[in-house]
Amino acid sequence: MGTAARPVIIAGAGPVGLTTALLLARHKVPVVILEARTGPNTEGSRAIAFQRDVFDIFDRAGCAGRILAHATPWGTGRTYYRGQELRAVTYPDPGDSPFPPWANISQTEVEAALRDRAAREPLIELRWGEPVADATISPDGVLVDTGTRVLAGSHLIGADGAHSTVRDVAGIGFEGRSYPDRFLIVDLRADLPFPRERRFHFDPPFHPGRQVLIHQCPEETWRVDWQVEPGFDLAADRASGRFDQRVRAVIGDRPYEVRWASVYHVEQRLAPSFARDRVVFLAGDAAHRFIPHGARGLNSGLQDADNLAWKLALTWHGQAPAALLDSYHAERHPAALENLRVTNGTLRFLIPQTVADRQHAHDTLERALTDPAARDAVNSGNQAEPYWYLHSPLTTPPDHPGAFDERPLAARPPVPGVLCPDAPCQAGGRPTRLRQLIGTGFLLLLADPARLTEARHAAGPATRVHALPHLDDDGRIAALLSATPGSAHLIRPDGHIAAVLPTADTEQITAAIHRACGAPQFTESEGQPGR
Ligand SMILES: Cc1cc2nc3c(=O)[nH]c(=O)nc-3n(C[C@H](O)[C@H](O)[C@H](O)COP(=O)(O)OP(=O)(O)OC[C@H]3O[C@@H](n4cnc5c(N)ncnc54)[C@H](O)[C@@H]3O)c2cc1C
């Protein structure tokens, strides 16, 4: 069976499934979303903290304005031990983005914005109450069984969450473990004098011996997350009045309303493969699970969606070889491994599972009270950031690779693989910003306007080509990109830098685009993970 004209089928109308669908529709690919629930989930939340660069993904999906308009921006996180502040982290902006470093809004509101946008998109069909029950996968397509009908699709994306059926059907495991510790999460509506910051308390006077995380959300709502004792029972806590005491200990005698309360446990899991047969792909919680501290779950799930959509679209339209699809696993699996590495460090500090780790966390906190040098070792969660595809088969390696600091919060230079910076600019006489110049194809930025014509010819009609001096008067964008005279930067549809070419040589431009499209001569020798 040929794949042309058959839709991509997505399992799951959660935030990752909806975003993937919107991005595919932007690329003119028809999508059917199969959702097990019979209607939208409008209660409660899970994710609240959305990282700045994810708003560019929402922008491409057509929802950034609405989500941002209802979100609470913030940029500082503070960590306390026994009421004493140990650390304050202010999140940097590597460019000049219109988005705040972080914005809090409930996942249910984000899903509603995505759903409303999807409802206006003729290329997206969302079917409620039709779960993916089974699938027959062949190298050239998929037959999906919902229990009541069978649908033919060109590809199947498992965005069906942690208990993914698609993952099972594809025969892909989910390695890792869950932890016995429990957390009580409550969204409280109250008029509180707390600042708009992430505040993490170890052993605070209002919850001795354990931890509390406090975040502000929109509409005078506060997310309070208590570490609670094993075997914690929310209904019993409420019935006994202990719940009210718990809240009162944090907010005093101000009136409050509980908007949502739930108990969660944490898991660290990773699918060993994010794809099968270039036909089935896993994204979001179906592919990985991280502890919420650091907000790496959904933020990275949305980056999965962004990474997958353009690759699937180019191959669906026959504009790139199927080998391009192998790069989804090649790029997003290392991104998830990095998230696991970072969150494992947080987990060992927050909920140590061994006597040695418990002692280490305790000693570090005690030392940090008096020794500022010990404070960087206090780990209350390292907030999410986009991954860097330095060693991807799609990335043209730089002639002279420099050192790259992988530590959290380190500055990421604009080298091949890294997300390109953002800043206001002009294009076609209109104010815009660099990342909005990215369309559904590649973007080529030339330092030398005299090379425009030949570069356009070499890049082909699907690539937008701009000269940096035409984008702004003050050279800010050239400086952000560390452009040199005569250089060229190739930017992918997901905003990552595919190549930095010291000279905008036409052969090199063509080769960099072919490489970024997964041309076999560049990718085959590097294996085909995820098959
Ligand atoms: C307490 C808590 C706080 C969190 N806070 C943050 C945060 O601040 N920031 C952050 O980035 N992340 C956070 N996370 C993680 C975040 O909630 C998840 O990463 C996110 O929900 C993943 O989205 P998803 O679309 O992949 O999966 P889901 O949201 O689980 O959606 C999956 C969808 O698939 C549907 N489905 C299931 N099976 C099938 C099937 N067989 N066929 C069709 N449909 C199916 C489900 O009904 C559901 O609608 C938090 C998680 C928790 C528990």
Q: ∠445-435-307 over CA atoms, to 5°?
A: 100
The string of pLDDT tens digits covering residues 214-269 is 999 999 999 999 999 988 999 999 999 999 999 999 999 999 999 999 999 999 99
CA distance 515 to 506: 14
Q: pLDDT tens across 415-441, in order?
A: 999 999 999 999 988 999 999 999 899
Give percent of the chain with pLDDT exceeding 90.
Answer: 90
Q: Token pair of 249, please?
A: 């200990």
- The bridge status of strand 488-491 relative to strand 464-467 is unpaired
How many Å apart are CA 361 and CA 459, to the nearest integer? 54
Residues 96/1, Cβ–Cβ less than 8 Å: no
- Amino acid identity at 348: R
Q: Comparing 45 with 338, which gets the higher pLDDT?
A: 338
* Paired tokens of 124: 């997206």
The confidence score (pLDDT) of residue 203 equals: 97
Distance CA 165, CA 158 (A): 8
Residue in this structure with the two tokens 């041309």, named with its chain if needed: 519
Please tell me the predicted confidence (pLDDT) of residue 522.
Answer: 67
Q: Which atom of ligand 1 is nearest to the CA of 300?
A: 11
Domains of the chain, first to last:
8-72+100-176+268-343 (3.50.50.60), 178-266 (3.90.660.50), 424-526 (3.40.30.120)
pLDDT digits (tens, 9 = 90+) for 345-362: 999 999 999 999 999 999
169 CB near ligand 1 (under 6 Å):
no
92-110: b (≥16 Cβ within 10 Å) or e: eebbebbbbbbbbbbbbbb
Residue with tokens 């027959």: 136
Find the 463 Cα to ligand 1 centroid distance in Å: 34
DSSP 473-522: SS-HHHHHTT--TT-EEEE-TTSBEEEEESS--HHHHHHHHHHHTT-HHH
Distance 483 CA to ligand 1 centre (A): 40
pLDDT in tens, 317-337: 999 999 999 999 999 999 999
**What is the whole-number distance in angstroms between the Cα of residue 115 and the centre of ligand 1?**
15
Is 80 exceeded by the pLDDT of residue 77? yes
The answer to whether the CB of 11 is under 6 A from ligand 1 is yes
> Is the shortest distance between the CB of 132 and ligand 1 below 6 Å?
yes
> Looking at the predicted structure, is the pLDDT value of residue 408 above 90?
no
Please indicate whether residue 381, judged by its CB atom, sits closer than 6 Å to ligand 1: no
Between the CA of 138 and the centroid of ligand 1 the distance, in Å, is: 28
Q: Which one-letter DSSP state was computed for residue 34?
A: E
Under a CB-based contact definition with an 8 Å cutoff, are residues 96 and 422 in contact?
yes
SS3 125: strand
Distance in Å, CA 474 to ligand 1 centroid: 43
Asked if residue 295 has its Cβ within 6 Å of ligand 1, the reply is: yes
The pair phi, psi for residue 263, each rounded to 5°, is -120, 135
pTM (two decimals): 0.96
Mean pLDDT, all residues of the chain: 94
pLDDT for res 524: 59
Q: 497-525 pLDDT, tens per residue?
A: 999 999 999 999 999 999 999 987 766 54
Residue closest by Cα to atom 21 of ligand 1: 298
Out of 29-43, 87-101, 498-512, pick the least confident. Answer: 87-101
- In the reported structure, the alpha carbon of residue 11 is separated from the centroid of ligand 1 by a whole-number distance in angstroms of 12
Is the Cβ atom of 153 under 6 angstroms away from ligand 1? Answer: no
Kindly tell me the sign of the dihedral angle through the C-alpha atoms of 12, 17, 18, 21. Answer: negative
- Distance from residue 466's CA to the centre of ligand 1 (Å): 39
Q: Determine if ligand 1 sits within 6 Å of the CB of residue 301.
A: yes
- Count CB neighbours of 245 within 10 A: 10
Mean pLDDT across the stretch 449-477?
95
pLDDT of residue 481: 96
Q: Which residues contact 334 (CB under 8 A, 6 or more apart)?
A: 387, 391
